[in-house]
Structure 1
Amino acid sequence: MAAHRKPRQQRRYPFAARPAARTATTLALAGAATATAFNGTGAADTAPTPAQIKARVDKLYQEAEAATEDYNGVKEQADRARRELDRLRDEAARRTDRLNSTRNALGSIATAQYRAGTMDSGLRIALTSDPDEYLERAALAQRVGDRQAAAVAQVRQQLVGIDRLKETADHQSAELKARQKELADHKSSVQRKLAAAESLLAQLTAEQRAAYDAPRDAPATAAPARPAATGATGQRAARAVAYAYGALGKPYVWGATGPASYDCSGLTQAAWRAAGISLPRTTYTQINAGKRVARSELAPGDLVFFYPGISHVGLYVGGGRMVHAPRPGAPVRIASIDEMPFAGAARPA
């Protein structure tokens, strides 16, 4: 019996030595982890440094600005959809008024015929004392009949047109609702990222926060440079640059286009609008407005773009500097174009 029990015990615990080995290994790892924690090198217990906080905040602001440009683009689409829907509704109202007028005229013709009654033409000519008068009336009746038929056809045509307008308006209304949903999503994304950035910045001391908010590598003010282009283009560029200088110190507000506050593409759009040039609303579309220029050929008034996703834009003012609306908490100011990764430039015309 004892000989049989021993093999069963071996089968039940074929790796009897391993639990002890695992226990020893676990204790060794735990001891190492404890020692690491006491030595102050545990990643989970280490608070981020000011430099790490600033890098993370910069990233969040960049992501927020990209979401802002998406918001601006969708808002532009929503505004177009709303204007088109209003136009369709106005047109439908005008056509309905015309339809009612046509129906009223048709009803007047029908009422007049009902009151006059119907009579065989041969009998009428036999009874009338003036055949010429009858023939004149018969011709008039024929013309009235022709007008009635035309009026009926017009009513039918107007009904078809109004139905088509209503279908188009319904489609436009659905598109507007979809754009409004996108707007809400982008707005939430921007707000979440900005809130996260503010939460991180709250961990800085007042001195560190002031250093973070201060302009980087550029003076607070500078004299506008003269655009390199001549003629009408140069004059427009000069007006755009002058407008940008006039906006210095105004707050950054995402989605704003002035005159009290701006986001980055809102500032460049407003500056060139003051010069008589209409730019698209977003960084993604502004980079394709006008002529692309190399960095070595930059002239005051050119649009300068940053980051691989083309999520930021400023207005070049010469000397390697630009006027731009940086981010929430940082007003419109002058900065070096080396402050961010350069992505391209365009010259509106």
Structure 2
Amino acid sequence: MRTGKHGLMTAAVAVVCAVTVLAAPGTAFADPGPTPSSGADAAAPTPTATPGKDLEAVRKRLDGLYRAAASATDEYNAVEEKADQQSAEIVELAEKIVQGQEKLDGLKDRAGAAARSQYRTGGMPDEAKLLLSDDPEDFLDGTGRITQGQRATKGLLGEMTRTQQDLETYAADASAQFEKLEANRKARATAQKKIEKQIAAAEKLESELEQEEKERLARLEREAQARAQTAWLGSGILQDLDTGATERGRKAVEYATAQIGKPYQWGAEGPEAYDCSGLTSQAWVSAGQAIPRTSQQQWERLERVAIEDMRPGDLIIYFEDASHVGMYVGDGSVVHAPRPGRPVTMAGAGSMPILGVVRPDTVAAPSE
């Protein structure tokens, strides 16, 4: 009886320890070695820097590499979030297993006590003893106690059966969650390899540029962003914008803008570094509003609003795959964490292709 309890408690402790190892953000796993290149990767070799090259083509190639890294980062963050949830569920199941086993042991102790009590009576049924009684009232009272005892025994056996079934269910659920957690660990490792591959290719391409070429490339980036922003402003968008913000929206903007200058790091949520959605999600957490972790989840789950109706604190989702996000701060600007090598900064809200706008805080602004 005690062996079963010890075994389940040991298993539950092992569950918690395993979850801690699998879910740890900094856990290192063995390098699975090189994997065959996909068709897309093979079809897009990394260009090398050569004298007289077209820097505009280099700029576009770098944009593509960093965008691919951003998309993989969103994938990594989503898997990480699922793994955290599954880890918490496994820990909860482990606790239920321990509690259930303790309950079952208590029920078994009670059943054993009842059996020992019957043994001490010499094996004579209580009904026979009552028939030998000279007092009819004692007989009726005894009959009532027998009925109650039978019901109690039946209830005890039923509770033992249900508890055993619960333990079996908890064990099966924990096993299923472990399988999901392991699958997510593999998906996380795959996403991490994608990120590192794209960033390494971009860094290699940039490292092969001469200093004068790097300066020209930076100028081309600024010019491209300025053209996009000018075209966006030229559409007259600011004329119809509602610039009022809620109290939470102001707090979120204050947090996000206070991070300007801090480095970009994929998968980071602060306080020392951020990726794009890490910045926006933490800004809203600081304002007392929890929102989804990734830019794609923010696009899917938050309320969408027309660009003409956006206000400070709203999130602008960029690119067709929703792989980037920035926070609108007013006057046609966003604060965002751009990419590796670029710190948190302000930029024109229209400097990148806008997919749409979402609103974490649905409370009406004072001006509304």
TM-score range, shorter chain: 0.7 to 0.9
- Which amino acid in the other structure matches residue 241 of structure 1? V
Partner of 1:31: none
When residues 271 and 122 of structure 1 are mapped into structure 2, their CA distance, relative to the original with a 3 A threshold, is closer
Kept in 1, the 8 Å contact 2:335–2:346? The answer is yes
> In the TM superposition, what whole-angstrom CA distance separates every residue of 1:120-177 from its partner, at most 9, and x where no partner exists?
6687468779887677666545533432222111111111121122222211221111
Kept in 2, the 8 Å contact 1:253–1:261? The answer is yes
Partner of 1:347: 359
Partner of 1:26: none
Gapped regions of structure 1 (runs ≥ 5): 1-42, 219-226
* Paired positions, count: 297
Query: Is structure 2 residue 112 aligned with structure 1 residue 112?
Result: no
In structure 1, which of residues 306, 319, 332 is the aligned counterpart of residue 331 of structure 2?
A: 319
Query: Is structure 2 residue 292 aligned with structure 1 residue 280?
Result: yes
Distance (Å, rounded) in 1 between the aligned partners of 2:125 and 2:282: 77
Kept in 2, the 8 Å contact 1:61–1:197? The answer is yes
After superposition, the CA RMSD in angstroms is 3.0
- Which amino acid in the other structure matches residue 310 of structure 1? A
When residues 138 and 52 of structure 1 are mapped into structure 2, their CA distance, relative to the original with a 3 A threshold, is same
Partner of 1:240: 252
- Which amino acid in the other structure matches residue 56 of structure 1? R
Is 63-72 or 51-60 further displaced after alignment?
51-60
Please report the TM-score for the alignment, with normalisation by the length of structure 2. Answer: 0.72
- Which amino acid in the other structure matches residue 326 of structure 1? P
**Counterparts of residues 87-236 of structure 1 (less than 5 Å):** 87-119=92-124, 124=129, 140-209=145-214, 212=217, 216=222, 228=242, 230=244, 234-236=246-248
SS at match of 1:248: coil
Please report the TM-score for the alignment, with normalisation by the length of structure 1. Answer: 0.75
Partner of 1:70: 75
SS at match of 1:287: helix
Pair member with larger Rg: 1
Kept in 2, the 8 Å contact 1:89–1:169? The answer is yes
When residues 159 and 291 of structure 1 are mapped into structure 2, their CA distance, relative to the original with a 3 A threshold, is closer
SS at match of 1:314: strand
When residues 75 and 120 of structure 1 are mapped into structure 2, their CA distance, relative to the original with a 3 A threshold, is closer
Kept in 1, the 8 Å contact 2:318–2:353? The answer is yes
Partner of 2:281: 269
Kept in 1, the 8 Å contact 2:262–2:344? The answer is yes
> In the TM superposition, what whole-angstrom CA distance separates every residue of 1:225-261 from its partner, at most 9, and x where no partner exists?
xx9455xx52221111111110101111111112221
Shift of 1:114: 1.3
Shift of 1:46: 6.0
When residues 303 and 127 of structure 1 are mapped into structure 2, their CA distance, relative to the original with a 3 A threshold, is closer
Partner of 1:83: 88
When residues 57 and 111 of structure 1 are mapped into structure 2, their CA distance, relative to the original with a 3 A threshold, is same
When residues 133 and 289 of structure 1 are mapped into structure 2, their CA distance, relative to the original with a 3 A threshold, is closer
Distance (Å, rounded) in 2 between the aligned partners of 1:295 and 1:121: 83
In structure 2, which of residues 310, 313, 322 is the aligned counterpart of residue 310 of structure 1?
A: 322
Gapped regions of structure 2 (runs ≥ 5): 1-46, 227-240, 362-368
**Counterparts of residues 328-339 of structure 1 (less than 5 Å):** 328-339=340-351
Kept in 1, the 8 Å contact 2:338–2:344? The answer is yes
Shift of 1:347: 2.5
Kept in 2, the 8 Å contact 1:213–1:330? The answer is no
Partner of 1:294: 306
SS at match of 2:347: strand
Kept in 1, the 8 Å contact 2:314–2:328? The answer is yes
SS at match of 1:301: coil
Kept in 2, the 8 Å contact 1:289–1:348? The answer is no
When residues 280 and 211 of structure 1 are mapped into structure 2, their CA distance, relative to the original with a 3 A threshold, is farther
Kept in 2, the 8 Å contact 1:307–1:341? The answer is yes
Kept in 1, the 8 Å contact 2:314–2:360? The answer is yes
- Which amino acid in the other structure matches residue 203 of structure 2? E
In structure 2, which of residues 270, 274, 282 is the aligned counterpart of residue 258 of structure 1?
A: 270
When residues 124 and 235 of structure 1 are mapped into structure 2, their CA distance, relative to the original with a 3 A threshold, is closer
Distance (Å, rounded) in 1 between the aligned partners of 2:54 and 2:124: 104
- Which amino acid in the other structure matches residue 197 of structure 2? R
Distance (Å, rounded) in 2 between the aligned partners of 1:84 and 1:44: 48
- Which amino acid in the other structure matches residue 299 of structure 1? R
- Which amino acid in the other structure matches residue 249 of structure 1? G
**Counterparts of residues 27-66 of structure 1 (less than 5 Å):** 48-66=53-71
Kept in 1, the 8 Å contact 2:242–2:309? The answer is no
Shift of 1:293: 3.1
